[in-house]
Chains A and B, each alone.
Chain A
């Protein structure tokens, strides 16, 4: 029983960080209708910027953290303007391939500059583990979860109460009506990309400082699709709940079935959901008109 509780706790904690990555996906999908296959690469790039700031340039961790967020925000603006805006209104496959191309460019660039080695950047958070009875919880897992929970809470409040957040939601639900009400859609979509990049960077730095930094970090993001599909692609709350569920199932699978199952459990979940309930738990059921 204590084994079960330990696996469950670890799974839920790692699910918190997964939720950040999922949030990065969902923000862009909801705000601009684009599914961004480059989220993992953006996350990885942010972590490499953080590593370069702290180790190569010797900055304080918090300063490097802010610096990497600023760089990613800048990059997100450039990408939105140069790649995604010219492609608006193109078929889904075109936009999808554009983000895959973007992922390839970032991946290649990172490998050209930093190579394929694994680095361990300094952590932002304390590493002291926590003992709950006879269950040991690693300090980084707990800290990561706390940061993720804070950030997600902040985002939910931002979308609910702030004027900018409401404008973003308006743009997401109906761009044309939002424009007639005086919302600058281009600016809203740019802001969406920047926010998603920032969330991705935070997730990247958190994962990299607890699990190490290598180009493999990007592929971890593909597993997040399970969470997004389960939660419903256009629901922020759904993404969070589903991330916790997927993290929990993954940890149980890895604990009882062995580590190999981690490669395949998320995808089996995806296939099952898409056949049974394609719009997820919280997603809106699409109605198509001719």
Chain B
């Protein structure tokens, strides 16, 4: 049994890891994660890479939507912008360590433009504005053939760091998870900073925040830009991981996927982004496994897999919203508390 943690100052309250137990668990988790290419199967590694990419993008959307309360349905398109930037720069001989940040920066610049209506409209109007931006961007992906390769798609050269080439899932794994770890740490630290507190103030009541001295224009635009930066970096890594991409990948369903991951995980928490992305990536896999197992008794089940996936996806979103609005992060917190207080009742 671990006793409760009592904070005596604001600084202690805001610490990233509030106890030595937590620090030790974190270290164990990181050790397990970064030795995974040594013990994991090929399937597990490929899935882990996809989860890592989704975690980065979800962290970004959670900053925009969860922390600052600005709905964005254009997140999938920002991921696409990052991916195409890396593809185009890679073909023109720009090294990977420049191309990846450039992908993030270009996405962030577009995020600023898309975020502009957020000054005049909010809530549902903002959702529609970002929806429109999403369709305009995907239209560009399909039609601007010299740069994006049009509907057939384009290929992306491998990432290459001073002669070390990231080919194969094992090498990409380290690239993706190093970036994901830094991204998560940065998101957590942003939440503790002046900007993170301004985001929350804007989310709760933007005019009150303005009266308290938060500059609405720059705060809202910053929230959009940072979210889009994460999406751009995730898109770049996605490009390096797959090696080729078509505009179909960045359909509206991708934006909805990230929103769903944010909601299922928990709005406004870093842990929620990680758990949400993990959960939402593995649900279709679990369904596929279930369909595979039951196909010997019900032969037609494979054809139903895709539609049933949609049904389960929708049911999960609604189920979490109605029964657990704070998401997986809240469930995780409850489980932790139970262990802390055991054998006493919470």
Contact = CB atoms under 8 A, between A and B. Distances in A.
Contacts, number: 138
Contacts of B260: 97, 100-101
Contact of A229 (B125, B205, B259): B125
Interface in B170-226: 205, 207-208, 211
A290 B120 CA distance: 17
B69 A104 contact: no
Contacts of A97: 259-260, 263, 317, 321
A242 interface: no
Interface stretch (B9-17, B78-86, B135-143, B154-162): B135-143
Interface stretch (A87-95, A130-138, A178-186, A243-251): A87-95
Contacts of B143: 260
B307 A111 contact: yes
B152 interface: no
Tier of interface size on chain B: 35 or more
Tier of interface size on chain A: 35 or more
B205 A83 contact: no
B74 to A, nearest CB: 11
Contacts of A233: 124-125
B308 interface: yes
Majority DSSP secondary structure for residues of B touching A: helix
Contact of A83 (B121, B124, B322): B322
A100 B117 contact: no
Which 7 residue pairs across A and B have the least CB separation, nearest first? A108-B310, A104-B314, A101-B317, A105-B314, A108-B311, A112-B307, A111-B307
Interface of B: 65, 69, 71, 116-117, 120-121, 123-125, 127-129, 131-133, 135-136, 139, 143, 205, 207-208, 211, 256, 259-260, 263, 267, 304, 306-318, 321-322, 325
26 contacts: A35-B124, A82-B322, A90-B325, A92-B123, A93-B69, A93-B263, A96-B124, A97-B259, A97-B260, A97-B263, A98-B318, A100-B260, A100-B317, A101-B315, A104-B310, A107-B307, A108-B308, A108-B314, A112-B308, A233-B125, A266-B132, A270-B132, A271-B129, A274-B120, A278-B117, A290-B208
